[in-house]
Structure 1
Amino acid sequence: MNELNAVLKIGNVHSVKGRKVDVIVDKSKNASHLLYNGDIIKNVSVGGYIKITKGFEELVGKIEGEFISTDKSLERKEYAHNRDKISRVLNVSLVGYFDKLKFKQGIKELPLIENECYLLTQDEFNRVHHFIKDINGVPDIPIRIGSLASEKGKEISVGVNSLFASHIGIFGNTGSGKSYTLAGLYHKLFKAYQNKSGFKANAKFVIIDFNGEYLNGDENDNIITTFENKNLYKLSTRKQTHKKYPISEEEINDIDFWSIFLTATEKTQKPFIKRALSNDFYFSRFNNESDFRYALSSMLESLITNKVDKGDIIQFIYDVSNSVSAICLEPLIQEYQQSLHWHSSSDKYYYEANNVKTYLENFDFNNGIPVNTINRLAINTASITYLEKIRLRIVFQFYNEIARFNLNTEHISPLMKRLKTIEQLDSVITVSSEMSDNFLDIISLSDVNTSMKKVLPLLICKQIYDKKKQERNDKKYLNIIIDEAHNILSYSSQRESETWKDYRLETFEEIIKEGRKFGVFLTVASQRPSDISSTIISQLHNYFLHRLINNKDIEAVERTVSYLDQVSFEALSILPTGTCILAGLSAQVPIIIEIDKIDEGFEPYNKTIKPTDYWENPDV
């Protein structure tokens, strides 16, 4: 052994239990640092690395713990020094090996008893933390994300393809820096590629922002990237003057979506919805005034001639009026309430106006009394939205089946009462095939009510995923980014039916399991990983783990993140703000890193308020 190796040698293998190895430390190697070849090297400690030589093989292990062992054979010898009786033992977990000057993750061989163990040189340490892999013989493109927390000067870079062509999970309690990490990663990426024509043409990023952290209210903001690179949607179920998100006709006409959105029963209400959405007879008449008047009068004629109860006739007019905000049918409702009567002895309806009774057989529904009032109504069909037309389609189908087929309303009436929820959906989406050309869409849901916060992300993500899947274009890249993902990916929500919950989770689980084949990747950030489906967490490729305190969250990470070692796992609850554990395919070993600062003006809108600034000086 040469002199330099003697400096680095720290002990020998004492026991081997699979990938867990115990190493007895030489008694002369208990100092905190060593001087080697002009460099100060940190001595053996928990969280550090050692090299185990086995012939020509060089195995690398991470120190996960240490303890003291007493040599009982020396206890009976009075002349033995106390320090000779005690041995320092390291618990080491094998993480990889050196192969032709490169560090490779995994276990190639297991060491033997008495194999010598060494500290890593600075060069070897750098090789362990060199995460830029070769892809088809070509080195990946590096992107710096931070620095090693234990070695302030050690920059950490990962490969663009290794990180962004993967599913990413960012977890941490509120205030731990989770959203800052998310914004920082994509700010770095966009800064590097935003001026490249291929990136603009082939990359698309969609951020689902539940708390409004990436859209601060100023529509010209530069959060994450400059304003001209993104399309902003500040959706609201409370305000009418705002931009709506475009959803295609194909997506909005999906029968499964409407069945689940309206909580339709499987055997009666879902088949009814299918009949309503498949029947274009009335739907085609909602586009101009004359056709709309005809549809209204012909339905009233059908209800009256088929002797439907007067209450149902009046309710039909109410339902039509409630379906369309721009049309008022109150005059028609009043006239039918006052003038339409039922003569039980003659088993006929009659219409009474100016003390004149006109019986059913004398009605002229095209030009006569009932139609006169309809012709005087102010009807502006140009203002009817696509979703209002869908609601009208369901209303007309319901009363058509009452008139013609004597429909049992007991089963369908509960569904009709739930049609009002379509108004909320109509306030946040518009039916259009026009999509933004910018590479980033930010969709803020901070001003959207709770029920729509469940529906919108599903509708939006399903649309862009289905479109991408149908394209089958290998050049196109799509990344769906969901901040506060527990709002939509929770499997324990009690606010929705099991059918809706299953549909929602199955959709996102398909994206995360099959999306890679179509160039679709998911980035999820959450402060409650325990609330997210374990199927989704286990399918993530790269993890940025900030401080987690709740035991259930820590257990969820431990159960599903196979890349995490014991040292990193135990550090989860004490990580400082802005520091996280990087583990996954882009990093050869789990490491604790400090995330780089984001350029000024591009930070997310989530700073913690400092109350004393305003308590002491209210004018600040």
Structure 2
Amino acid sequence: MNMKMKNDIEDKAKRESIFIIGRVLSVEKRLVTIKVNKNKNSSHIIYDGTTVKNVSVGSYVKIAKGFVNIIGKVEGERISEERYFNRDYNKEETRINRVLDVSLFGHFDGTKFKQGIKEMPLIDNECFLLDRDEFAALHNFAGCDKRTIEIGGLTEEPAQRIRLGVNDLFASHIGIFGNTGSGKSNTLAKIYTELFSLYKGNENFKNNSRFIIIDFNGEYSGKKAITTEKEIYKLSTGKGGSERKYPITTDNLNKTETLAVLLEATEKTQKPFLDWVIKGDYLDDPTTFIQRVRERIEDICRTVLLDKKGNGLREGTIAELFSRILDIVDIASNNNISNLRDDIEINLHYHSQSNEYYWNRPVTSNFNNTNPIYDTYIAPIVDNAVFKTDHFSGLKLKIILGYFYAITRGFYNQEHIGPLMGRMIKKFKMLDKLVDIQDNAEWQKNLVILSLRDVNTEMKKIIPLLVCKQLYDEKKEVNGMTSLHIIIDEAHNILSTASQRESDTWKDYRLETFEEIIKEGRKFGVFLTVASQRPYDISHTIISQLHNYFIHRLINDNDIGAVEKAVAYLDRLSFQTIPILSVGSCFIAGLASDIPVKVDIELLPKEQQPQSDTVKLEEEWG
């Protein structure tokens, strides 16, 4: 035996004598109890001139079974009493033993850690602390040949940096959960800041990936947040509207489901009416649009004037028609139609004895049967009106004329579909402040921030749905090597199952859309990241389909329970410590990490941090 081999054997024997902590006492399924040696009850041991943290709750241990090294985590420790006969004193005494409860989860294949148990340990197998190399190998999740991002260090061992594989993390659905002030916004910003930093200047990354952050509170609109290479849409339903509107396609808005949700249409009457209007192609040809609008207005007016009140129509129907189209004509036409409406309200009457409409004039009244009222008083205004031809105006006009055509022809009851009109005017007015109708809009950058900070509550639910549905449908049509990453901060605002302020139809459509994305999106290269302080409120289907979890401090039992049901990777001890995690600390569990780990997420520089800090009252108050 040469000197080197002899020294290696001596070093190994020395190391094992120092790192051995005890022996297996019992084995039951994945749970093992270990009896700790008496000389290993101190908090630290000394090896090679350095201190090594001794075994404790949360530590990892290695169980040697022949040539197989099995890895487990200490979930608890206790004492056990052992009765034995003391021959020196010739009596029975009690010995106190320190016992560890260990859960097995993996093994070493050579120097590489692998999840899963190949063999169960035997009673009396020796148990060891992990040395520095083994500890590092245990936390080397991506290997040396993969691209990784660094997100922080282990809470118990800050020197052990944690790196996650780019593909393992970002080709997955991600959940980031934690109470307000727990650090979840910094975590979301950190992982995407590291990603964009890693691929800075990479043209393939820019061309083959798209990221959109649905930012409910305007936290990621800072110049250097995530990256400087981004497009920002600061939407607003305020008086001035948005400086820059988000582009929505014609097809996306011209869907019965979309309009039914937007206008809160009832399932049995209003939604079928919308479907009938949208499928009608009467006004779809731009070359005949103006002509057909005028023809439809004439048809509606003449139907009322010739009705003789047999269908219960009133002269107010015509006045209401012109009130509805006031904002769909230019300024000059608006004044003319406004005056026409006023004239109709004042001068158009019904003569019950002759069953005729007449136009009241200073000298003599003009009856419809002798001198048609439409030709004399209405047609000159309508035929010279200039109608707006943008998509919003065209869609509104299509619905308005469809409504009046339907009720004058008796297709629908006015009481059933009438409420839809009031909602349409209100909703379209708000929507017009937020989106532009563009069919060929191109992304200038591969990151878009959609800030909804100044958007009212009503539209905060609708806009993310419209945008995400459009992006998902487009991605399905061009399925290829590109990826789409939808990132939703404060996701309970849009993914909640508990909202009481919306119809069941709207809630079902909203949840079905995002549940489809999370269940089927991976096939098309669509990945979802959700961050929320209330995981309990989010659809269980969505929570359970996530691949990687970042779990910050959660206090509410319902929230902890929701995560516990969904996350199979986390052990009982980790769940019990979730309510006492410090700010910035979180458990990472999922496909990107071979084992669940508690990590202190590195705080970003001030200029890159999301704008989510708690106000410092002492500084504000002086």
Q: TM-score, normalised by structure 2?
A: 0.92
Once residues 81 and 603 of structure 1 are traced to their aligned partners in structure 2, the CA distance between those partners, rounded to angstroms, is 66
Q: Kindly tell me: are residues 10 and 270 of structure 1, through their superposed partners in 2, closer, same or farther at Cα, counting changes over 3 Å?
A: same
Native 8 Å contact 1:206 1:440 kept in 2: yes
Q: Give 2:141's match in structure 1, choosing from 122, 131, 137.
A: 131
1:276 aligns with 277
Q: 1:556 offset after TM fit, Å?
A: 1.2
Query: Equivalences for 1:310-325 in 2 at 5 Å?
Result: 310-321=315-326
Q: Kindly tell me: are residues 418 and 183 of structure 1, through their superposed partners in 2, closer, same or farther at Cα, counting changes over 3 Å?
A: same
Find out whether 1:608 has 2:610 as its counterpart: no
Query: Equivalences for 1:446-461 in 2 at 5 Å?
Result: 446-461=453-468
Root mean square deviation of aligned Cα: 2.4
Once residues 618 and 547 of structure 2 are traced to their aligned partners in structure 1, the CA distance between those partners, rounded to angstroms, is 42
Deviations 1:543-592 (A, max 9, x none): 11111111111111111111111222122111111111111111111111
**Aligned AA (1:344):** S
Find out whether 1:346 has 2:348 as its counterpart: no
SS in 1 for 2:369: helix
Deviations 1:39-78 (A, max 9, x none): 4321110110000111211100000100000113359996
Once residues 388 and 132 of structure 2 are traced to their aligned partners in structure 1, the CA distance between those partners, rounded to angstroms, is 75
Q: 1:614 offset after TM fit, Å?
A: 2.5
Q: Give 1:471's match in structure 2, choosing from 474, 478, 481.
A: 478
Query: Equivalences for 1:268-417 in 2 at 5 Å?
Result: 268-282=269-283, 284=285, 292-293=293-294, 295-307=296-308, 308-321=313-326, 327-328=334-335, 329-363=337-371, 368-374=376-382, 379=386, 381=388, 385-405=390-410, 407-417=412-422
**Aligned AA (2:226):** I
Once the two structures are overlaid, the 10-residue window that deviates more, 271-280 or 257-266, is 257-266
Q: Give 1:70's match in structure 2, choosing from 75, 81, 84.
A: 81
Q: Give 1:553's match in structure 2, choosing from 535, 559, 563.
A: 559
**Aligned AA (1:331):** N
Q: Kindly tell me: are residues 414 and 79 of structure 1, through their superposed partners in 2, closer, same or farther at Cα, counting changes over 3 Å?
A: farther
Find out whether 1:246 has 2:252 as its counterpart: no
SS in 1 for 2:520: helix
Query: Equivalences for 1:141-540 in 2 at 5 Å?
Result: 141-216=147-222, 221-226=223-228, 229-238=229-238, 239-282=240-283, 284=285, 292-293=293-294, 295-307=296-308, 308-321=313-326, 327-328=334-335, 329-363=337-371, 368-374=376-382, 379=386, 381=388, 385-405=390-410, 407-419=412-424, 420-433=426-439, 434-473=441-480, 475-540=481-546
Once the two structures are overlaid, the 10-residue window that deviates more, 342-351 or 171-180, is 342-351
Native 8 Å contact 1:287 1:381 kept in 2: no
Percent identity for Structure 1 against Structure 2: 46
Find out whether 1:120 has 2:158 as its counterpart: no
**Aligned AA (1:233):** Y
1:584 aligns with 590
Native 8 Å contact 2:233 2:451 kept in 1: yes
Native 8 Å contact 1:286 1:389 kept in 2: no
Q: Kindly tell me: are residues 106 and 368 of structure 1, through their superposed partners in 2, closer, same or farther at Cα, counting changes over 3 Å?
A: same
Q: Kindly tell me: are residues 578 and 79 of structure 1, through their superposed partners in 2, closer, same or farther at Cα, counting changes over 3 Å?
A: farther
Once residues 75 and 404 of structure 1 are traced to their aligned partners in structure 2, the CA distance between those partners, rounded to angstroms, is 106
SS in 2 for 1:422: helix
**Aligned AA (2:583):** T
Q: Kindly tell me: are residues 76 and 375 of structure 1, through their superposed partners in 2, closer, same or farther at Cα, counting changes over 3 Å?
A: farther
SS in 2 for 1:435: coil
Q: TM-score, normalised by structure 1?
A: 0.92
Once residues 92 and 487 of structure 2 are traced to their aligned partners in structure 1, the CA distance between those partners, rounded to angstroms, is 62
Once residues 80 and 524 of structure 1 are traced to their aligned partners in structure 2, the CA distance between those partners, rounded to angstroms, is 65
Native 8 Å contact 2:366 2:373 kept in 1: no
Deviations 1:164-203 (A, max 9, x none): 1111111111111110111111111111113111011111
Native 8 Å contact 1:41 1:122 kept in 2: no
Deviations 1:225-245 (A, max 9, x none): 11xx21111111113252111
Q: Kindly tell me: are residues 324 and 149 of structure 1, through their superposed partners in 2, closer, same or farther at Cα, counting changes over 3 Å?
A: farther
SS in 2 for 1:152: coil
SS in 2 for 1:73: strand
Native 8 Å contact 1:232 1:443 kept in 2: yes
Q: 1:374 offset after TM fit, Å?
A: 3.6
Once residues 403 and 106 of structure 1 are traced to their aligned partners in structure 2, the CA distance between those partners, rounded to angstroms, is 72
**Aligned AA (2:120):** L
SS in 1 for 2:38: coil
Q: Give 1:18's match in structure 2, choosing from 10, 29, 50.
A: 29
Deviations 1:204-225 (A, max 9, x none): 0000000111115xxxx22211
1:60 aligns with 71
Q: Kindly tell me: are residues 406 and 113 of structure 1, through their superposed partners in 2, closer, same or farther at Cα, counting changes over 3 Å?
A: closer
Q: Give 2:599's match in structure 1, choosing from 571, 574, 593.
A: 593
1:111 aligns with 121
Native 8 Å contact 1:286 1:292 kept in 2: no
SS in 1 for 2:593: coil
Q: Kindly tell me: are residues 372 and 398 of structure 1, through their superposed partners in 2, closer, same or farther at Cα, counting changes over 3 Å?
A: same
Once the two structures are overlaid, the 10-residue window that deviates more, 587-596 or 460-469, is 587-596
Once residues 262 and 500 of structure 1 are traced to their aligned partners in structure 2, the CA distance between those partners, rounded to angstroms, is 10
**Aligned AA (1:330):** S
Deviations 1:1-21 (A, max 9, x none): 933212111111111111111
Find out whether 1:8 has 2:35 as its counterpart: no
Aligned residues: 601
Q: 1:369 offset after TM fit, Å?
A: 2.7
Once the two structures are overlaid, the 10-residue window that deviates more, 189-198 or 282-291, is 282-291
Once residues 108 and 312 of structure 1 are traced to their aligned partners in structure 2, the CA distance between those partners, rounded to angstroms, is 80
**Aligned AA (1:333):** R
Native 8 Å contact 1:363 1:369 kept in 2: no
Q: 1:317 offset after TM fit, Å?
A: 1.8
Deviations 1:388-437 (A, max 9, x none): 32222111111112223363222222323322322222221111121322
SS in 2 for 1:246: strand
Q: 1:345 offset after TM fit, Å?
A: 1.4
Native 8 Å contact 2:73 2:102 kept in 1: yes
Which stretches in structure 2 are left out of the alignment for 5+ residues? 1-11
**Aligned AA (1:281):** Y
Q: 1:341 offset after TM fit, Å?
A: 1.7
Deviations 1:102-127 (A, max 9, x none): 10012222111111111111111111
Native 8 Å contact 1:210 1:446 kept in 2: yes
Once residues 29 and 74 of structure 1 are traced to their aligned partners in structure 2, the CA distance between those partners, rounded to angstroms, is 24
SS in 1 for 2:320: helix
Native 8 Å contact 1:286 1:381 kept in 2: no
Once the two structures are overlaid, the 10-residue window that deviates more, 33-42 or 168-177, is 33-42
**Aligned AA (1:250):** D
Native 8 Å contact 2:282 2:292 kept in 1: no
Q: 1:605 offset after TM fit, Å?
A: 1.3
Native 8 Å contact 1:166 1:522 kept in 2: yes
Once residues 158 and 88 of structure 2 are traced to their aligned partners in structure 1, the CA distance between those partners, rounded to angstroms, is 47
Once residues 288 and 5 of structure 1 are traced to their aligned partners in structure 2, the CA distance between those partners, rounded to angstroms, is 87
1:86 aligns with 96
